[in-house]
Structure 1
Amino acid sequence: MDQLRAMQAFVGVVDTGGFTSAAELLNMPKATLSAAVAELEAHLKVRLLHRTTRKVTVTADGAAYYERCVRILEDLRDAEESLSSKQGSPHGKLRVDVSTAVASRLLIPLLHTFLERYPDIELELGCSDRPLNLLSEGIDCALRVGEVQDPSVVVRRVGTMQLVTCATPGYLAKHGRPKHPHDLKKHVCLNYFSMRTGQVFDWEFNRDNERVVLTVDSPLTLNDSNAYIDACLAGLGIGRLPTYMFHQYPSCGALELVMCEWLSDDMPFLVAYPSNRHLSSKVRVFVDWVAETLEHHTGMQMCEKARAVHEKNQQRQMLELGILSTPA
């Protein structure tokens, strides 16, 4: 019996809750994985798992053995990584999940810097806005915006963003420009709802010491960030975009800021990884790269820049209309 392989198979079954998902996670035939766990139980002379046609659960002895297996496998990874770090850069497969808009609008345009810096890492980038089970899906870490309420993961804050309110020039020309959050009641607004709970998010605004929270009626509510951006660009209504998404649009005139002084609460960028897993060097360098990328990304600190661009566009339009004779 390959006891190390059998331990990995057993931990995979406990983590994922079944033989099929564990076999997929470990890239191992289900029959081979099942046989490895059975051999391990025979070797230990202890039943580790309760098996029924519907589910697999861990026994009391199995739970205790699982904790020891996890520590042994982590110690083994530590030993291997301590050697690999001396011999070169981190290497191997790294599975990461990010939201669709974060992937397409923020990370992918800059991802070449990570791949060039760490050429021995094989990155698998999953793009979704759905809730995840990092353990059962074999994901090393996930990048999310907003608080993560999951006791099975550890989170690290790698950045902060805000939402800005915007619309197309065509929409504003037709419907006018809101000056205060309460003016949104007279406008067509685009709502966003949680894929996890189905809850429609309120519109929260802050200006100096004033705070406004609105529940806005909308003819269109979405739960995909890229689709939400497309709806804004199509002129379907007023939307709220993260600064890292919005920053590319004012210069080409596709979107304009409204209520510039009214911003959302700070929203954290978080990297989450399983709490019972060692933070490998692959994950660590990716998390550090994300933090570095967010720190220097123009869209993460563009509130003031966006306002300046908007004011410049307004000034240009006033000059063209003859309202101003010389630039201010």
Structure 2
Amino acid sequence: MNTLHNMQIFVRLIDTGSFTSAAASLHLSLGTASRAVSELEEHLRTRLLHRSTRRVSPTREGLAYAERCRRILADVARAEDDTALAADHPSGLLRVHSFASLGHRHIMPAIQAYRERHPDVHVELSLSQALANLFDGSCDTSIVAFSPPPDAELASFQLGRSQRILCASPGYLAARGVPQSPDDLQLHDCLTLRTATSSSQRWCLEGRDRVSVTLAVDSVVSINIAESLATAAREGMGIAPLPAYAALDELRDGTLVRVLPQYTIDTREICILYPSRRFIDARTRSWINFICDWLPPRLDKDEAALSELAPEAEAPGVAA
């Protein structure tokens, strides 16, 4: 039995005063309308109508039930309208997760630009190096850098790539010397970035000739946030692999210097992840569309800026 449908027929019957009028207004047969009320009475074990050969009229229980049905049907209609609106108009709470360093440099400015277009959306941003659980309802999308990709069951769009580069402070290089080859790194203090999608203890250096060198690194300090790792490198604690977007400002102002600039470390894909491609609400869909347009050119700009910087690591008083 379709209870809501039968309720609708019963309320229309009370409003029109006859089965014939109720059936016609709902484009139903007279038999369908009659069966709907009979099914309700059987289900409720209560007589809802007084019937005669000439007319029908509601019982006292029928009148009370009709009023309850009106409220239920009105609530259902409002719920459907609100849900349909959510599917068409971005509003409500959008929960975004991002890796911390990527979030600081790019996602927070993106949220500001997004909300200028969609002011009815409120954003909750979580920054973490842990992978978000997109199936438990705690967040709507996650923007991460990875190699290899995480959960294959997630829907995703690729936003770009980012390479990691080796950096150190001029003071550290003045004191310890500038590495000339990957093997020289074994003589230096190495700082490592610890994330949910990568191992910090092995560095795979890829040269411009596409030849790769893999090193086992004895990390003196391991940190899970790229900005904190950059701070450690600035303070002269050692040589650190940093995402390009986390190192650019320090490379520009000279507080960091690129080490072995002919090498990069495991270029990573940056993607937006979300649970499903079906029935995405308007705020999530509009955010995905926005970030797919907004972020790629900024990642490309980071890579272009990196290539324009002085290529060689050279510390004061130290020959490169």
Residues 1:272 and 1:313: Cα distance change in structure 2 (over 3 Å): closer
Amino acid of the structure 2 residue aligned with 1:161: S
The corresponding residue for 2:127 is 127
- Give, in angstroms, the shift of residue 141 of structure 1: 0.8
RMSD: 3.3
Aligned residues: 241
The corresponding residue for 1:216 is 217
Q: Distance in 2 between matches of 1:202 and 1:151?
A: 24
The corresponding residue for 2:22 is none
| TM, length-normalised to structure 1 | 0.64
User: Are the aligned partners of 2:258 and 2:311 in contact in 1 as well (CA < 8 Å)?
Assistant: no
State the secondary structure of the residue aligned to 1:229.
Answer: helix
- Give, in angstroms, the shift of residue 104 of structure 1: 1.5
| TM, length-normalised to structure 2 | 0.66
Alignment of 1:281-320 (within 5 A): 281-297=282-298, 300-303=300-303, 305-311=305-311
Q: Distance in 2 between matches of 1:222 and 1:117?
A: 36
Residues 1:306 and 1:153: Cα distance change in structure 2 (over 3 Å): closer
Q: Distance in 2 between matches of 1:154 and 1:76?
A: 28
Q: Which consecutive residues of structure 1, in runs of 5 or more, have no partner in the other structure?
A: 5-42, 44-74, 324-328
- Give, in angstroms, the shift of residue 273 of structure 1: 0.8
User: Are the aligned partners of 1:244 and 1:300 in contact in 2 as well (CA < 8 Å)?
Assistant: no
Q: Distance in 1 between matches of 2:249 and 2:118?
A: 28
The corresponding residue for 1:252 is 253
- Give, in angstroms, the shift of residue 312 of structure 1: 9.4
Amino acid of the structure 1 residue aligned with 2:219: S
Q: Which consecutive residues of structure 2, in runs of 5 or more, have no partner in the other structure?
A: 5-42, 44-79
Q: Distance in 2 between matches of 1:313 and 1:135?
A: 45
Alignment of 1:256-267 (within 5 A): 256-267=257-268
The worse-fitting range, judged by mean Cα deviation, of 200-209 and 274-283 is: 274-283
Q: Distance in 2 between matches of 1:255 and 1:314?
A: 11
- Give, in angstroms, the shift of residue 230 of structure 1: 2.1
Alignment of 1:35-184 (within 5 A): 79-81=84-86, 84-85=88-89, 90-146=90-146, 147-184=148-185
Q: Distance in 2 between matches of 1:135 and 1:311?
A: 44
User: Are the aligned partners of 2:101 and 2:226 in contact in 1 as well (CA < 8 Å)?
Assistant: yes
Q: Distance in 1 between matches of 2:193 and 2:137?
A: 26
Amino acid of the structure 2 residue aligned with 1:285: S
Amino acid of the structure 1 residue aligned with 2:156: V
Residues 1:121 and 1:269: Cα distance change in structure 2 (over 3 Å): same
Residues 1:204 and 1:196: Cα distance change in structure 2 (over 3 Å): closer
Residues 1:201 and 1:183: Cα distance change in structure 2 (over 3 Å): same
Residues 1:276 and 1:311: Cα distance change in structure 2 (over 3 Å): closer
Residues 1:180 and 1:312: Cα distance change in structure 2 (over 3 Å): closer
Q: Distance in 2 between matches of 1:310 and 1:287?
A: 36
Cα displacement string for residues 182-220 of structure 1 (whole angstroms, at most 9, x for unaligned residues): 1111111102334479x4342111111311111111221
Amino acid of the structure 2 residue aligned with 1:92: G
Q: Distance in 2 between matches of 1:112 and 1:78?
A: 26
Q: Distance in 1 between matches of 2:272 and 2:304?
A: 26
User: Are the aligned partners of 1:191 and 1:221 in contact in 2 as well (CA < 8 Å)?
Assistant: yes
